[in-house]
Amino acid sequence: MEEKKIEEKTLRIMIGDITERNTEAIVNAANNHLKHAGGVALAIVKKGGQIIQEESDKIGFVPTGSAAITTAGALKAKYVIHAVGPKWGEGDEESKLRSAILSSLKIANEHKLKSISFPAISSGIYGVPKEVVAKVLVNTAAEYLKNEQTTIKEIEFCLFDEDTYKYFKAEFDKI
């Protein structure tokens, strides 16, 4: 785990299980219809409970680059923010990915949350190269902490494996 202070706030990268994080919100790498059938989404519903899927079903469709919020069921977090990242090859992936993280941070701020944990959105089945995901997510989070009036005091990236972590560490070290 590594941390940096930005404007008296914390930016962190780590390897771990996002469903175990004790932040106020965790972010789910969601699909447009919020059907949590695989990857991070399935792990979140398995641990947090069916209430997360039920609340997601009420929300319905979320456009790529946007996010929505549900409660977190039995998870340690209070909320799950469902961010819809782009699929590699659909075009304008970096802009859509930046929009997804900013939408998540905006929702967290609207709910006056202090801490949020993100996975490597779009780097799994959606196929966006990990170096692209790391660059966009780390730099967008750092800029947000520098420039935004926000209740958020901690942004972390909870990464699933060593391979993903090395890309995030390379970007983290440039800040």
CATH of the domain at 114: 3.40.220.10
At 64 the pLDDT is 98
**In which region does residue 95 sit, left (phi positive, over 0), alpha (psi from -120 to 50) or beta (all else)?**
alpha
Give the pLDDT of residue 118: 98
Share of the chain above pLDDT 90, in %: 97
pLDDT of residue 148: 82
Confidence label for 39 from pLDDT (cuts 50, 70 and 90): confident
- pLDDT for 59 beyond 90: yes
- Number of structural domains (the chain) is 1
Q: Are 155 and 118 in contact (CB under 8 A)?
A: yes
Residue with the larger pLDDT of the pair 5 and 148? 5
pLDDT for 132 equals 98
**Average pLDDT of the residues in 92-108:** 98
Instruction: Return the closest-CA partner of residue 146 out of 4, 9, 23.
Output: 9
- Structural domain including 32 reads 2-172
pTM surpassing 0.95? yes
